[in-house]
């Protein structure tokens, strides 16, 4: 199957062609079966072709396939926003808008905070990933490959160290860097917002330091700065809770949603405090495809399945199995390249490192190939592309999860210099 008509600027992790999937398993065009620990890069928390999602898509496709909501509102959009407002675990009244993707949600959030504050500067974090659109590129805390050859990006944007037990950056170090930023680089009164991932995705599944999150929330309140939580990858049960910001003991002002919101159908959202979401003039927000009826129907079905009881059970199962395996591997000395276990709940990464603690990206490349040949798909992450992120569907059968971890164990044992 020729790929000559596809841009070579799209990087392919696994050089295969998939034909179909079911829950946590996929098959390529040769008929080979794989256990899927990629999940569409965090999109398929409910797995491939979840029956409730498929049924909702089919039913909606017989009624209304599309209408631009800003031309004439439709029922699926209205129902979904009502359901989302109830699903977001905050105490304030929630309002929002639907988008086509997480990156589009981030772009609209930047417009919203500018309109609400009259300021334009944004503070993001090292290792962050918020999208590939022009404005979100500047938010990303990594140059290669996202910012290369692009030139001047929209701003101003400043970056701080991301404090986490998973990367060794302490709360005190991050606060010191923040103090320096406002002493040397920018007046605090020019800052519109901070944007952060409660658990970094592309950055390597690093869980934000709780004390820092709470200190940052107080700082934002004291200085009339808004706080945006990017839950595009960490949300919708990925950590075992509805959203990862809950473990931090804070409430963001705006929340970015995407990926697993609609079971694999393109959809995103920006939601938050109603006064913020209503501050732009009529027509300041919207989009032709944003909140497509079929995507909304898929999202409504997704939220019906994602009860707290289900999320807690799924998250506990994955956490117990992954952490238990990892601790056994460490005790056994399975591989000299087995580094730290990162993340929280069911959102876990495994670092590959050399004996001196430096990243081992070559070994990760080996691991991806070995695992694929053995029937397991994995996804890299981290600043040096040295952390495997485990994104199996939350609905994965325990036997299939165990099988995947068996393959991962065998491949880790085979790594060489």
> Would you state the pLDDT for residue 43?
98
Calpha distance 209→236 (Å, rounded): 21
Backbone φ and ψ of 338, nearest 5° = -75, 110
User: Which residues, including other chains, have CB under 8 Å from residue 227's CB and lie 6 or more apart?
Assistant: 193, 194, 196, 216, 217, 220, 250, 252, 253, 254
Backbone angles phi, psi at 66, to 5 degrees: -165, 145
Return d(Cα 105, Cα 89) in angstroms, integer.
19
3-state secondary structure of 414: coil
Long-range contacts of 115-118 (CB under 8 A, 24+ apart): 115/279, 115/280, 115/284, 116/192, 116/226, 116/275, 116/276, 116/279, 117/192, 117/193, 117/224, 117/225, 117/226
**Lookup: tokens for 80:** 């979904």
User: If we measure between CA atoms, which residue out of 121, 118, 124 comes closest to residue 178?
Assistant: 124
Pinpoint the residues of the chain covered by CATH 3.40.640.10. Answer: 53-305
Contact 130, 176 (CB under 8 A): no
Whether the bond between 339 and the residue before it is cis, its omega within 30 degrees of 0, is no
Question: Which token pair is 137?
Answer: 């590129």
Task: Please name which of 277, 290, 249, 285 lies closest in space to residue 94, comparing C-alpha atoms.
Answer: 277
The rounded distance, in Å, linking the Cα atoms of 326 and 351 is 11
Cα 47 from Cα 18, distance rounded (Å): 15
CATH 3.90.1150.10 domain extents, the chain: 308-413
Thinking of the domain 53-305, which architecture would CATH place it in? 3-Layer(aba) Sandwich (3.40)
Q: Residue 118 CB: number of other CB atoms within 10 A? A: 9
Q: What is the pLDDT along the chain (417 residues), one digit of tens a residue?
A: 678 898 999 889 999 999 999 999 999 999 999 999 999 999 999 999 999 999 999 999 999 999 999 999 999 999 999 999 999 999 999 999 999 999 999 999 999 999 999 999 999 999 999 999 989 999 999 887 888 888 888 889 999 999 999 999 999 999 999 999 999 999 999 999 999 999 999 999 999 999 999 999 999 999 999 999 999 999 999 999 999 999 999 999 999 999 999 999 999 999 999 999 999 999 999 999 999 999 999 999 999 999 999 999 999 999 999 999 999 999 999 999 999 999 999 999 999 999 999 999 999 999 999 999 999 999 999 999 999 999 999 999 999 999 999 999 999 999 998
> 275 in the Ramachandran plot: left (φ > 0), alpha (ψ -120 to 50) or beta?
alpha
pLDDT of residue 339: 97
**pLDDT tens digits, one per residue of 225-267:** 999 999 999 999 999 999 999 999 999 999 999 999 999 999 9
Alpha-carbon dihedral of residues 120, 126, 132, 137, nearest 10 degrees?
40
Contacts of 246 (CB under 8 A, 6+ apart): 89
pLDDT for 144 equals: 77
Residues in the chain: 417
* pTM, rounded to two decimals: 0.96
Q: In which residue are the tokens 């934002």 written?
A: 220
**The pLDDT of residue 77:** 98
Residue 230 φ then ψ, to 5°? -90, 100
- Record the tokens describing residue 319, joined without a space: 């956490």
* End-to-end alpha carbon distance in the chain: 34
Residue with the two structure tokens 């829950």: 23
- What pLDDT is stored for residue 1 in this prediction? 65
- Domain topology for 308-413: 3.90.1150
φ, ψ at 96 (rounded to 5°): -175, -175
C-alpha–C-alpha distance, residues 256 and 352, integer Å: 30
């Amino acid at each position: 199957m020729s790929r000559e008509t596809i841009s070579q600027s799209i990087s392919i992790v696994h050089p295969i062609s998939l034909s179909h999937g079911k829950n946590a398993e996929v098959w390529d065009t040769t008929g080979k079966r794989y256990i899927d620990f990629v999940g569409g890069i965090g999109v398929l928390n409910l797995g491939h072709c979840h029956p409730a999602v498929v049924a909702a898509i089919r039913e909606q496709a017989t009624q209304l396939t599309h209408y631009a909501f800003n031309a004439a509102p439709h029922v699926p959009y209205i129902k979904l926003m009502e359901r989302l407002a109830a699903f977001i675990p905050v105490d304030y009244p929630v309002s929002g808008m639907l988008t086509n993707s997480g990156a589009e949600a981030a772009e609209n959030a930047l417009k919203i905070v500018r309109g609400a504050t009259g300021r334009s500067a944004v503070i993001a974090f090292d290792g962050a990933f918020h999208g590939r659109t022009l404005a979100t590129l500047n938010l990303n805390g990594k140059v290669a490959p996202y910012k290369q050859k692009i030139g001047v990006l929209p701003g101003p944007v400043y970056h701080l160290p991301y404090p986490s037990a998973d990367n060794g950056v302490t709360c005190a170090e991050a606060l010191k860097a923040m103090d320096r930023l406002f002493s040397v680089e920018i007046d605090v009164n020019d800052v519109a917002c901070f944007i952060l991932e409660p658990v970094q995705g592309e950055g390597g599944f690093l869980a934000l330091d709780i004390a820092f999150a709470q200190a940052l929330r107080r700082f934002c309140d004291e200085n009339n700065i808004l706080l945006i939580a990017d839950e595009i990858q960490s949300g919708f049960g990925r950590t075992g809770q509805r959203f990862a910001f809950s473990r931090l003991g804070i409430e963001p002002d705006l929340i970015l949603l995407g990926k697993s919101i609609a079971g694999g159908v393109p959809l995103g959202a920006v939601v938050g405090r109603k006064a913020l979401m209503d501050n732009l003039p009529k027509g300041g927000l919207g989009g032709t495809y944003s909140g497509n009826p079929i995507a909304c129907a898929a999202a409504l079905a997704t939220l019906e399945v994602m009860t707290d009881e289900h999320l807690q059970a799924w998250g506990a199962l994955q956490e117990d199995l992954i952490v238990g395996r990892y601790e056994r591997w460490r005790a056994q000395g399975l591989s000299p390249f087995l580094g730290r276990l990162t993340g929280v709940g069911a959102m876990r990464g495994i670092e590959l490192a050399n004996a001196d603690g430096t990243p081992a990206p070559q070994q990760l490349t080996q691991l991806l190939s070995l695992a694929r040949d053995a029937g397991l798909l994995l996804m890299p992450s981290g600043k040096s592309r040295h952390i495997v992120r485990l994104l199996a569907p939350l609905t994965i059968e325990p036997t299939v999860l165990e099988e995947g971890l068996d393959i991962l164990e065998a491949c880790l044992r085979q790594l060489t210099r």
